[in-house]
Amino acid sequence: MELTPDAIVVFTVAGIPINATIFFTWIIMAILTGIAWLMTRSLRADVPPTRWRTALEVIVQGIQAQITEITGRPARQVMYFSGTLFLFIFVSNVLAVVPGFHAPTGSLSTTTALALAVLVAVPIFGIGSRGVRGYLKTYVEPSWIMLPFNLISEVTRGLSLAIRLYGNIMSGAVIVAILLGVAPFFFPVLMEMLGLLAGVIQAYIFAVLATVYISSAMADPSQHPSKKKDAS
């Protein structure tokens, strides 16, 4: 049994091996794109909403409400980014219960790529909200001595995101593999259900942490409640 999809070669294109991580990532992208297109192709004011469209709106509004609660303000751009992360990880983890499907999130390369996306998004959103000078100033607050520590903090946050997601998915795969040899009927079903629940929670935690990091980069210290109270 292969525990990481990186080791499974699905097919080869022009001598380039396409492993299960890449292959099933493409499948998840196609599924999400196809569902979004099907649910929004009749998106007009004169067309009554279908049940699927209503379900999609509930999901989007739920994600937006969570992000607004974290950031303290409407942030549609953050919703696009964090919502996409959540849906990708959620679908990947949920489909892991399908026989023959290998979750891309079970690969360290995928979780590292997701963490790098967050690391790149944090300064982009920070600069977009506060400007280049205002964002770079956060690295030397409260003094220049904190510059290396703040830089290390940025890197370690990304590493923790990648390792946390990868570790949770892989630990579930290892436990199921062990229990398959002990009791091949009852325990695997139970562990698959627990793994499904853990996968949904991990998708939520990853998206929330990404939103928190982005929100902290976008925050304006002059608007902090404690500073407003002191000024008054």
- 208, 66 Cβ separation under 8 angstroms: yes
Q: How far apart, in Å, do the first and last CA atoms of the chain sit? A: 65
Q: Which residue bears the tokens 């967050």?
A: 118
What is the percent of the chain with per-residue pLDDT over 90, rounded to a whole number?
A: 6
Q: pLDDT per residue over 44-53, tens digit each?
A: 767 677 777 7
Residue-wise burial string across 89-105, b where 16 or more C-beta atoms lie within 10 A, e elsewhere? bbbbbebbeeeebbbbb
SS3 45: coil
Res. 29 pLDDT band, cuts 50 70 90 = very high
pLDDT at 191 over 60: yes
Residue 7 per-residue DSSP state: G
Rounded to two decimals, the pTM is: 0.78
Count of other CB atoms within 10 angstroms of residue 45: 4
Rounded CA separation 87/114 (Å): 12
Provide the total of helices (H) and of strands (E) in the chain, helices listed first.
7, 2
Phi-psi region of 11 (alpha: psi -120 to 50; beta: other; left: phi over 0): beta
Residue 17: which residues within 8 A CB-CB, separation 6 or more?
9, 11
pLDDT for 74: 66
Two structure tokens written together for 165: 């997601």
Q: Which residue bears the tokens 């380039």?
A: 16
- 93, 200 Cβ separation under 8 angstroms: yes
pLDDT at 187 over 70: no
Q: pLDDT per residue over 37-96, tens digit each?
A: 887 777 776 767 777 778 878 888 888 888 888 877 767 788 889 889 999 999 988 888
- 219, 126 Cβ separation under 8 angstroms: no
- 84, 138 Cβ separation under 8 angstroms: no
The enclosing H or E element of 17 equals: strand 16-19
Two structure tokens written together for 57: 């709106």
Rounded CA separation 205/19 (Å): 27
Rounded CA separation 200/206 (Å): 10
pLDDT for 107: 85
